[in-house]
Structure 1
Amino acid sequence: MFKLVGIVAGFFVFKGFLGAFIGFFIGSIIDRMLGTKIQFQSSGFGGQTRSVSPGDFELNLLSLASLVIKADGKITQNELDFVRKYFVQAYGKERANATFRTFNQVVKNREISAERVCDFIRPRLSYEVRLQVLHFLFNIGQADGHVSDAELNVLLRIARNLRINKSDFESIKAMFFQSADNAYKILEIEKSATDDEVKKAYRKMAKKYHPDKLQHMDEAYQKGAQEKFTKVQEAYERIQKERGL
């Protein structure tokens, strides 16, 4: 804003384009100084450099959480407690409380569009962080004991709008559903895969979900990354045991 003011003022005060340039330079400095006070680089944006108004990312993440919570037509205390605990771990009690207050006052009673929310946060998140967001949302569904079909449909819609590919969605989904071949699904391979293909898949998934990918993130995100990494290790160990590797 001050860049424009500086250009206009400089042009008229100093009578020409040199004055406009000086005004632009001074205005840029003022914008940057004020910007450090009223904007922040959200760690939830996967280390990206985009500036957002305080609370934008948290409010959008809470909006997605609310879609999962309300998907099956019932809101359980376990789900609410999980979300609150996660937000306190990720952002601190004061910021978490401010986010919940704003959500309840401004967002809660409005129609929330998964598409619009995802369109906003997707370009601001690295792919690894988008995977962590999906894992967080699956955990909400699991908080009351199981992920319902209605919740799964919402999670699938969110994943598609976050541009998470199908194999990664199925891998994370398999971490929350028990089946005869879920270890293979977690590693994103078929049960017919060779031993070498199993080993190769494990190395690939261990690299993808390694906690170091999110070491710049807050504690809650790092914890989620560790959970996914552990699931990959457990899946590989189950396959090793089955095959006697």
Structure 2
Amino acid sequence: MASFTKWLGAGLGFTFGGPIGAALGFAIGSFVGGLSNNDLSEEQRAYQQRVGSDANATNTQSVDFEMSLLVLAAIVIKSDGKVDQKELDFVRIQFIGMYGEERANNAFKLFKGIVKKEISARQVCLQIRTNMPHASRLQLLHFLFGIAKADGFVAESEIEEIRKIAGYLYINERDYSSIKAMFHDASESAYQILEITKEASNEEVKKAYRKMVKKYHPDKLQDLGEEHLKGANEKFQSIQTANDRIKKERGI
């Protein structure tokens, strides 16, 4: 337990409070009997105070991003009325890939408790968008679509839940549709990823590609740490693949 509280307490910032903190507290209480504020480091409490005084904070802690992922993933997984083992396995595999086995095991302990609690997506997203920059929120959405597709089929209820989450996170329809298209193989998906239509001119295609490269460049997530850059690179690769597909189709 000492290593668990050290991992959690040393990194939590804005997610220590609010609805995310409540979900984490419920999960912790389900297997360790609660987490005392005395278990948290002085450094973490000082960070929490700074975040609480700055509603426009833009430097998201790695663990804050991790906890936000856990809570939103639980909401999406339960949206179709069941908890699918393939989706649970996907979350675990993704976390092992990002954080290593020990940290992922700690996170998954929390996750199994979080999925048992009813959580307001709107309240959680309000907390996230107040404290997390736009690029990080886009990365959250990308991860959620990956979870939804983990069982080989994206249910309509999952799509609707992710759409609501996107709206709550102030992610506009074009960005939402672009990320959604990254998980579909339809012929028009390449255009949707670049946020254009098939009627766009070659010059408009080039302009859209440059815009998307700037928006989704992994450098925008450097503050989240190396562990989150894999997902950012996957998203960036989708942009490049879409552009290559369009260029091949048009012979440009």
- TM-score range for the pair, normalised by the shorter chain length: 0.7 to 0.9
How far residue 95 of structure 1 moved from its aligned partner, in angstroms, is: 4.0
Which shows bigger deviation, 179-188 or 219-228?
219-228
SS state at 1:144 partner: coil
Which shows bigger deviation, 173-182 or 111-120?
173-182
Instruction: Describe how 1:98-177 pairs up with structure 2 within 5 A.
Output: 98-105=106-113, 107-177=114-184
Q: Is the 8 A contact 2:72 2:121 kept in 1?
A: yes
Which shows bigger deviation, 193-202 or 62-71?
62-71
Cross-structure match for 2:78: 70
How far residue 207 of structure 1 moved from its aligned partner, in angstroms, is: 1.3
**Higher RCO (Cα < 8 Å, 6 or more apart):** 2
Matched, 1:215 2:222: yes
63 and 241 in structure 1: CA distance in 2 versus 1, 3 angstrom threshold:
same
Cross-structure match for 1:228: 235
Which ranges of 4 or more aligned residues in structure 1 deviate by more than 6 Å? none
How far residue 92 of structure 1 moved from its aligned partner, in angstroms, is: 4.5
Equivalent-residue separation in structure 2 for 1:55 and 1:225 (angstroms): 17
Equivalent-residue separation in structure 1 for 2:179 and 2:63 (angstroms): 27
Cross-structure match for 2:195: 188
Q: Is the 8 A contact 2:59 2:132 kept in 1?
A: no
Equivalent-residue separation in structure 2 for 1:79 and 1:108 (angstroms): 12
| CA deviation vs aligned residue, 1:210-231 (integer Å, no higher than 9, x gap) | 1122123234421111111111
Specify every segment of 5 or more residues in structure 1 that has no aligned partner in the other structure, as ranges: 1-33, 42-46
How far residue 191 of structure 1 moved from its aligned partner, in angstroms, is: 0.9
Aligned residues: 205
Cross-structure match for 1:24: none
204 and 141 in structure 1: CA distance in 2 versus 1, 3 angstrom threshold:
same
| CA deviation vs aligned residue, 1:1-30 (integer Å, no higher than 9, x gap) | xxxxxxxxxxxxxxxxxxxxxxxxxxxxxx
Equivalent-residue separation in structure 2 for 1:57 and 1:101 (angstroms): 17
Equivalent-residue separation in structure 1 for 2:44 and 2:79 (angstroms): 38
| CA deviation vs aligned residue, 1:24-56 (integer Å, no higher than 9, x gap) | xxxxxxxxxx73154558xxxxx83578xx966
Aligned-CA RMSD value = 2.6
How far residue 144 of structure 1 moved from its aligned partner, in angstroms, is: 0.9
SS state at 1:71 partner: helix
Cross-structure match for 1:15: none
37 and 185 in structure 1: CA distance in 2 versus 1, 3 angstrom threshold:
closer
37 and 204 in structure 1: CA distance in 2 versus 1, 3 angstrom threshold:
closer
Equivalent-residue separation in structure 1 for 2:71 and 2:84 (angstroms): 16
Percent sequence identity is 51
Equivalent-residue separation in structure 2 for 1:212 and 1:200 (angstroms): 20
The TM-score, its normalising length taken from structure 2, stands at: 0.72
137 and 237 in structure 1: CA distance in 2 versus 1, 3 angstrom threshold:
same
How far residue 91 of structure 1 moved from its aligned partner, in angstroms, is: 4.2
Q: Is the 8 A contact 1:187 1:232 kept in 2?
A: yes
SS state at 1:203 partner: helix
How far residue 205 of structure 1 moved from its aligned partner, in angstroms, is: 0.5
The TM-score, its normalising length taken from structure 1, stands at: 0.74
Q: Is the 8 A contact 1:55 1:99 kept in 2?
A: no
Amino acid across the alignment from 2:106: A
| CA deviation vs aligned residue, 1:186-209 (integer Å, no higher than 9, x gap) | 000111111100000001101111
Instruction: Describe how 1:36-51 pairs up with structure 2 within 5 A.
Output: 36=43, 38=45, 48-49=58-59
Q: Is the 8 A contact 1:90 1:218 kept in 2?
A: no
Cross-structure match for 2:8: none
Instruction: Describe how 1:198-209 pairs up with structure 2 within 5 A.
Output: 198-209=205-216
Equivalent-residue separation in structure 1 for 2:87 and 2:75 (angstroms): 12
SS state at 2:224 partner: coil
